[in-house]
Amino acid sequence: MPHMILATRFPVELYRPIISFIDKKKDLCTLCLSSRTWYGEATPFLYQDAFLSSTQGMMIWCNTTVEKPFLGELVQELSILFRMCWRGDSYISVRISQMLRHVPNLQRLTLDVEPQVDGDVVRSEVFSVFQACPLQIRHFDARMFLLVKADVDSLVEFVKPRPNITNLSCRITRRISLHALETILPNLARLVAPSNLFLALKPPRPIQCLKMYLGDRDHIEAELEGILVRLKAINETLTTLCLYRRFPRDVPLHKYICRLAKSVPKLQSLCIHDDSLRLCREPPHLEGILSSFTDFTCLENVAFNQYYPPPSSGRSQIPCGMSPTQFATRCMEKSPSLYTVMLPFWDNEKVAFVKTPSGDVIEMPSSETSYRGTCLFPKT
């Protein structure tokens, strides 16, 4: 059962019956190649990651990993969606804690909660289940919104004793003080978070990939200045920068890019999610966007994506009458190191343009058709 054949995972409810069936037939299986394939390829592939979101699936998974420790050793990625019905269920918490002690090779942990689950549950039950476990993960993704200071304190308590975490993704409301985050995660290399968390990290970490959500409209200039200072401090390590700009009119895109280029001239990939191209109306503004790439010396890839869904009637060209190919060509002329330019055209699958060895700019088909386009931020 080669890896490429299994395009989708089996439901966790099926894992235990399958294992039980194989075990009952082990005398026969040991005589045939299928058993070697099962234990050598299929089992590691099935158990390398799991998504748990139902009570039945959770119980089956916990029982299986506890009863068969060799299966727990195969688990590398674990995602748990906490249900409202689990609130106050101490038995669920105990079983999860037991299961976590049987996945010693876990590398990535993703936690989320149903929208109905309030912050108190996140703080008192979700994080508390994991804080006491001896997990030394490298990737932590907290997908639930952290709305109050106690939520952030719980996050800090979880990540502080785990300096091996290099990848962090979290959602924190902007009104919370983040001083507790200043000195944690010394080895952080990949961060997905709102800008206030990035600004709270002192001293700067050796971040290589950074995705930030901007949006403090009341202090947008002060926020930008703080971001530029922090970016300059990680210029030697940062290779990929992805920005979600909610209010592009407050600081025009061409000015934003120019200031970025002065702080991180060695950046290799830049991805901007805003509506600047759609809102652009005057040729000077478009020329300003093109000219803003001049100061980048190492930029190889750039992507312009939408922040909000596009209007029902899509456009097939840049405002001001410039075609996508012309725009991509001009970008590459302004920044000779550019190799790929991606544009947010939702009515055309050909959104990417690449430079050939001869210097020509050609369209490259892409299967990505969502209005957010193709994000350059690497998936790990």
For residue 10, pLDDT over 70 is answered with no
The more confident residue out of 145 and 175 is 145
Is residue 11 in some structural domain? no
What confidence score (pLDDT) does residue 245 get? Answer: 87
What confidence score (pLDDT) does residue 3 get? Answer: 36
Contact between 285 and 252 (Cβ < 8 Å): yes
Structure confidence at residue 190 as a pLDDT band (50, 70, 90): very high
Is residue 230 in some structural domain? yes
- Taking the C-alpha atoms of residue 191 and residue 119, their distance in angstroms, rounded to an integer, is 23
Q: Per the structure, how many domains does the chain have?
A: 1
For residue 285, pLDDT over 90 is answered with no
What confidence score (pLDDT) does residue 326 get? Answer: 87
Residue 339 belongs to domain spanning: 208-308+320-372
Is residue 228 in some structural domain? yes
Q: Name the least confident of 27-31, 198-202, 248-252.
A: 27-31
What confidence score (pLDDT) does residue 333 get? Answer: 92
For residue range 153-167, list pLDDT tens digits in order: 888 888 988 999 999
221 sits in which H/E element: helix 220-233
Q: What is the DSSP string of 147-176?
A: -SHHHHHHHHHHHTT-TT--EEEEEE-TTS
Q: φ, ψ for residue 345 (rounded to 5)?
A: -105, 110
- Taking the C-alpha atoms of residue 277 and residue 268, their distance in angstroms, rounded to an integer, is 21
For residue range 299-324, list pLDDT tens digits in order: 999 998 877 766 655 554 566 677 88
For residue 205, pLDDT over 70 is answered with yes
Angle formed at CA 182 by CA 170 and CA 134, multiple of 5 degrees: 60
What confidence score (pLDDT) does residue 181 get? Answer: 79
Burial 75-105 (b: 16+ CB within 10 A, else e): bbbbbbbbbeebbeeeebeebbeebbebbee
For residue 129, pLDDT over 60 is answered with yes
Mean per-residue pLDDT of the chain: 80
Angle between helices 253-263 and 283-291 (to 10 degrees): 10
- Taking the C-alpha atoms of residue 351 and residue 369, their distance in angstroms, rounded to an integer, is 9
What confidence score (pLDDT) does residue 319 get? Answer: 63
Q: What is the CATH number of the domain that holds 242?
A: 3.80.10
Q: What pTM does this model have?
A: 0.82
- Taking the C-alpha atoms of residue 274 and residue 249, their distance in angstroms, rounded to an integer, is 10
Is residue 74 in some structural domain? no
Is residue 256 in some structural domain? yes
- Across the chain, the runs of DSSP E, i.e. the strands, are 49-52, 77-82, 108-113, 139-146, 167-172, 190-194, 209-214, 240-245, 269-273, 301-305, 340-342, 352-355, 361-364
What confidence score (pLDDT) does residue 370 get? Answer: 47
Kindly state the average pLDDT of the residues 23-52.
63
What confidence score (pLDDT) does residue 371 get? Answer: 44
- Taking the C-alpha atoms of residue 302 and residue 293, their distance in angstroms, rounded to an integer, is 10
Residue 151 CA, distance from chain mean position: 21
Portion of the chain with pLDDT greater than 70, in percent:
77
For residue 94, pLDDT over 70 is answered with yes
- Taking the C-alpha atoms of residue 166 and residue 192, their distance in angstroms, rounded to an integer, is 11
Is residue 343 in some structural domain? yes
Contact between 362 and 354 (Cβ < 8 Å): yes
Is residue 341 in some structural domain? yes
For residue range 322-377, list pLDDT tens digits in order: 788 888 899 999 999 999 998 866 555 557 889 988 888 988 766 544 444 567 77
Alpha-carbon distance values, 125 to 15, 88, 129, 154 (Å): 27, 8, 6, 10
Kindly state the average pLDDT of the residues 110-114.
88
| Count of Cβ atoms closer than 10 Å to residue 296 Cβ | 25
Structure confidence at residue 71 as a pLDDT band (50, 70, 90): confident
Kindly state the average pLDDT of the residues 36-41.
60
What confidence score (pLDDT) does residue 5 get? Answer: 37
- Taking the C-alpha atoms of residue 305 and residue 307, their distance in angstroms, rounded to an integer, is 7
The residues, ordered by sequence, that sit 6+ positions from 222 with a Cβ below 8 Å of its Cβ are none
For residue 15, pLDDT over 80 is answered with no
The residues, ordered by sequence, that sit 6+ positions from 317 with a Cβ below 8 Å of its Cβ are 323, 324
Is residue 233 in some structural domain? yes
Kindly state the average pLDDT of the residues 145-159.
85
Kindly state the average pLDDT of the residues 237-260.
87
The more confident residue out of 279 and 100 is 100
What confidence score (pLDDT) does residue 164 get? Answer: 92
The letter for the amino acid at 378 is P
The letter for the amino acid at 98 is Q
